[in-house]
Chains A and B, each alone.
Chain A
Amino acid sequence: MTIAGRHKAAAVLVALGVAGAAQAQDGPPSEWLDKMAGAVQTASYEGTVIRIQNDKVEALKVVHTVTDGIVREKVIVQEGNGLEIIRNGNEVQCILPDKKSVLVEEWNDQSALFSSLPAGDIRFGSEYDVSIVREDRVAGRKTVLLAIRPHDEYRYGHRIWLDMETGFPLQTKLISQEGEAIEQVRFADIKLGGNIHASALAPSMSTENFRWFTQPKRTVTPIVDSPWQSDELPAGFRVVSTHEENLSARDTVVTHILYSDGLANVSVFIEPASDRKIAQRSSVGSSNSYSVETGGFSVTAVGEVPAATVEKIATSMRPN
């Protein structure tokens, strides 16, 4: 190619790039979020997820299908004990190959509890600034990068790379108030949509001589309201649902109130206080919890929010 030809080609590429950026930035960023919310609930996919947290990296093979609203999923840890988790609707099998063991859990249908939620009511409020940063590529696919910045210290920021075609999040980064990445999740490779054969969802090994454990089935009952409420709820959080969870393993009924600001969710669990003490603070992955006893009840807040948020919510819960 001549120099003039190269310049011409470069000019075309630049023009295409600008056109692509303009396309991605057409319309408000919230439309991308709506697209994403729909995609994560309905997309079928198969791929490898890399998760980075606290300088620790792990890889997971994931197969996920949604057919007629029923979710089937297989997740395999690629290292160490090779844990496999297989979900078929409401039944979940956790297979630990090196221990030749399987734990079976069964839940009642949770989707029915949330499917009636008005989507517009649980989308983003004014607690975040959402902006389109640029176009990018993840796992070989075109993406649009969204930056979601919180206005206060009660929630994390997000960077989300959404598949340009489907709105599916191919990469997410959870950002602390100090600007540090708390957790990153990224697809190294992904096949979105298309036919995923049923065999891809089967256990990758025979479990014939494995030891099987069962967890007692959990049941969830929606309740209209609860006397409990927070008298100092961080701005933007709203009650999304209130349930009673029957934890038959502990012969306990727990009131569960789910708060959301449209992005971050916090659950509050209330049960009569007992001798069985609950750790005041804990964290798992990007989630934190805070537990306090008040008026003969144990109140625990859990969510993918900073520790200060779960503490504020747990300590502000009062019965009317």
Chain B
Amino acid sequence: MNDAIKMQISAFVDGELPQNEAELLLRRLCQDGELRQQAAEYMAVGRIMRGEKIVVGMAQLRERIAAELDDENVQLDAPEAQAAPARFARPLAGLAIAATVAVVALLGLQQLSTGPADTGGEAPAVAEAVDGAYTVPQADEDPLRDYYQIHNASASYVGAGSINARLVDFQVREDLVLSAVNAAETVEADAEPADDAETPAP
């Protein structure tokens, strides 16, 4: 990726790229997957170096490219997709939130994909959920999560591929904490009386 493209991307994200140049840039990004990846990586590094957390233009960039591509994978990154039922696959898809730049959210967001077999089971129950207190999640609903964790813990001591294993472990852990939080919120919601419940007549 040449410096001119880098400058264009930076200018677009900052909202400073003229409209006609922005259209050209978007068209190139839509047509060239390799360039999208390079651009994403470039922006990721730049933002980290600058210590930035939020860039206003990123959402616009994502929406524009998503609209151009009409790629159904884009829908996986939509907020409503993140609120899917609390199952093993859902929180890992939620990792897409952590995607460094919006353009990379165009593809490959579903981190865990399962085969035809249904895993069954319900969202994990949580005994109690009290702010500032320890809570013990009850039995895990999916043995696969245990398996991935145990494998990664072992694999990190063996062979040269331990870095990849640790990154997988990272994803599984995010899934674990999100599951625990979601389950706690479910329990809390169930425990609260409905606002529109009728008051019994005296």
In the complex, how many angstroms separate the beta carbon of B89 from the nearest chain A beta carbon?
A: 8
Among candidates B44, B100, B108, B184, residue contacting A213 with C-beta atoms closer than 8 Å:
B184
Q: Which residues of B contact A278 (CB under 8 A)?
A: 117, 119, 142-144
A285 to chain B: closest residue by CB: B168
Asked if residues A249 and B130 are in contact (CB atoms below 8 Å), the reply is no
B160 to chain A: closest residue by CB: A263
**Most interface-central of A251, A261, A265 (chain B CB within 10 A):** A265
Give CA–CA (A276, B141) in the complex, Å.
Answer: 8
Asked if residues A267 and B106 are in contact (CB atoms below 8 Å), the reply is no
- Cβ of B136 under 8 Å from chain A: yes
B96 to chain A: closest residue by CB: A56
Asked if residues B97 and A79 are in contact (CB atoms below 8 Å), the reply is yes
Stretch of B6-14, B150-158, B194-202 at the chain-chain interface: B150-158
Asked if residues B154 and A110 are in contact (CB atoms below 8 Å), the reply is yes
B36 to chain A: closest residue by CB: A55
Asked if residues B167 and A51 are in contact (CB atoms below 8 Å), the reply is yes
Asked if residues B115 and A211 are in contact (CB atoms below 8 Å), the reply is no
Task: Give the size range of B's interface with the partner.
Answer: 35 or more
In the complex, how many angstroms separate the beta carbon of A199 from the nearest chain B beta carbon?
A: 18
Q: Which residues of B contact A52 (CB under 8 A)?
A: 37, 40-41
Among candidates A115, A211, A300, residue contacting B184 with C-beta atoms closer than 8 Å:
A211
Chain A, interface SS category: strand
Among candidates A75, A269, A280, residue contacting B117 with C-beta atoms closer than 8 Å:
A280
Give CA–CA (A105, B184) in the complex, Å.
Answer: 17
Q: Which residues of B contact A284 (CB under 8 A)?
A: 92, 111-112, 148, 168, 171-172
- Cβ of A250 under 8 Å from chain B: yes
- Cβ of A122 under 8 Å from chain B: yes
Among candidates B104, B129, B139, B173, residue contacting A55 with C-beta atoms closer than 8 Å:
B104
B74-106 near A? 1/0 per residue, CB < 8 Å: 000000000000000000101111111100111
Q: Which residues of B contact A275 (CB under 8 A)?
A: 120
Asked if residues A304 and B144 are in contact (CB atoms below 8 Å), the reply is no
On A, residues with C-beta under 8 Å from B are 33, 36-37, 40-41, 48, 50-61, 75, 77-81, 83, 85, 92, 94-96, 99-105, 107, 110-111, 113-115, 117, 122, 158, 160, 169, 172, 174, 183, 185, 188-189, 208-216, 218, 240-241, 243, 245, 247, 249-252, 254, 256, 258, 260-265, 267, 269, 271, 275-287, 289, 291, 298, 300, 302-304
On B, residues with C-beta under 8 Å from A are 33, 36-37, 40-41, 44-45, 47-49, 53, 92, 94-101, 104-109, 111-121, 126, 129-144, 146-148, 150-155, 157-165, 167-168, 170-174, 176-178, 180-181, 184
